[in-house]
A = this chain, B = another copy of it.
Amino acid sequence: MSTTGFKQQLFQQFARVAKAMGHGSRLELLEFLAQGERSVDQLAKVSGLSVANTSQHLRLLLQAGLVTNRKAGQKVYYRLSGEDVVGLLASLRQVAERHLSDVSRLINDYLSVKDELQPVPATELLEMAREGIVTVLDVRPPEEYAAGHLPGAVNIPLAELEAHLDQLPEDQAVVAYCRGPHCVLAFDAVEQLRQKGFNARRLDGGLPEWRLEGLPVEQGIRS
């Protein structure tokens, strides 16, 4: 094989991975899988895609090496191939935010209006949590919380926040987090909490980004 031929094949292979990420739905599926493994049916429900369509996208992600799968009875569970995929997604997001004005405008118009404050860096939150001066709030659905969450985090899905305010100490700061840096649930939670008089902030990033920084993750349902 010539040098040119080799190079072209190599770049073509790299392009396969990029192409697999070249559709909004597949990126969303990857973000869901970053929270923990899910079945096809679960992914179809949470994404709003048909099962057949979800299956097709997952097959493409599988062929690109971004996810792996395992069978359990009739169900097929998918997961990210590794933490490096989270890193790749983070890198992609950062480039888009920085160099695409459409992206920064979209984020500004929709998210920054909800929370203009800088999010709390992960290592800073870990420090505050260890000092016991903050309440960490996970606003994702329970199954995502169970798959993995920040140590000591309280799980109150956004839809139930108003009904469970009593679970949050009023004399402490609250830092909310979600699936990733642009997950609306964390923004909405902070907005609601501030309206109720809480000192609420957002975490910089979500559970996958936290884990990517090598920070500790708990699993299971809270006692």
Contacts and interface: CB of A to CB of B under 8 A. Distances in A.
A160 to B, nearest CB: 16
Query: Among A18, A31, A65, A94, which residue has the most Cβ atoms of chain B within 10 A?
Result: A18
Given A6-B184, A48-B4, A98-B82, A103 B13 contact: yes
Interface stretch (A20-28, A142-150, A168-176): A20-28
Nearest to A21: B18
Interface in A9-50: 9-19, 21-28, 31, 48
A136 B14 CA distance: 29
The copy count of this chain in the complex is 2
Interface class of chain A by DSSP: helix
A217 to B, nearest CB: 21
A100 B82 CA distance: 12
Contacts of A99: 65-66, 81-82, 85
A74 interface: no
13 contacts: A3-B188, A11-B24, A15-B21, A15-B27, A16-B22, A16-B96, A17-B100, A18-B92, A19-B19, A19-B23, A81-B99, A82-B95, A91-B91
Given A18-B19, A88-B91, 16 more contacts: A7-B184, A8-B24, A8-B28, A11-B28, A12-B24, A14-B93, A14-B96, A15-B21, A15-B27, A18-B92, A21-B22, A65-B98, A66-B99, A84-B91, A88-B88, A88-B94
Interface of A: 1, 3-4, 6-19, 21-28, 31, 48, 64-66, 81-82, 84-85, 87-88, 91-96, 98-100, 102-103, 106-107, 110, 182, 184, 188
